[in-house]
Structure 1
């Protein structure tokens, strides 16, 4: 969605499951209807949403294909994690259904006032997430970098930070 995708997702999913999610990746309600193979902002957001749902539902095959081999995510505390660490962490969590994931994500986004921007330059896209009450200049929480390769968007890098108002 994004404090560190790896750390935040682990924390978020644990909190969600303990209560019955920060996935800022699921911004667009209609993203599931978007062709993820297109070279468009909507497709990048759809892939980002799919990413959140894949992590929550345990779809490791899709996630392994979407993440580039040298994918890295850097947490709020500056610690880098690689693709395998993300997949290993995900495998240890209890999966939920797609509909449960979608509801939990929608509730989280509504509660946490999460906004996003997509910038595409050539075959590189950056998805930035921010707190809408602070705005994109002061409320940045994370960014995901995607590369369009072989007709698909693939995540290369994620950077996360604490909000500073």
Structure 2
């Protein structure tokens, strides 16, 4: 997984988008970035390493709130552990109920930053997690993730 807290934060996308209308994940839009992130979360929770291998660039890193970096291979290995079980999904969904979140997307050329934040603190003070995506080969790919615990969350 990206990081235990990161997975919980990422599933907040699930709460926000909840599989609304099907979005073209290859579009260069904020909606596409959110859809890719949701697909990413589902892939981690379901152990879909084939999708994760296409999404995560070879140099992908996820830095947890503790400052420890987790490389792409660690994320893939952790996802395998979720295959055939809904335990992690239930844990993440329970975390979401306890920690409301909102999302913002900043698009600049071929780069997108998707941030998850505490709506009570706002997008400038309450950022819990940010994923950086780059548009390569006609689709969005994850390059980097950073996680924090603002306000003790």
Report TM bin, short chain.
0.7 to 0.9
Q: Distance between the aligned counterparts of 1:91 and 1:6, measured in 2?
A: 14
> Do structure 1's residue 62 and structure 2's residue 51 form an aligned pair?
yes
Partner residue in 2 for 1:38? 27
Partner residue in 2 for 1:164? 151
Partner residue in 1 for 2:12? 24
Partner residue in 2 for 1:6? 3
CA RMSD of aligned residues (A): 2.6
Alpha-carbon displacement from aligned partner over 1:22-43 (angstroms, at most 9, x marks no partner): 6234331245600101111100
Gaps of 5+ in 2: none
Q: Distance between the aligned counterparts of 2:138 and 2:114, measured in 1?
A: 18
- Contact persistence 1:144–1:159 (CA under 8 A): yes
If the length of structure 2 is used for normalisation, what is the TM-score? 0.85
- Contact persistence 1:23–1:52 (CA under 8 A): yes
Number of equivalenced pairs:
150
If the length of structure 1 is used for normalisation, what is the TM-score? 0.79
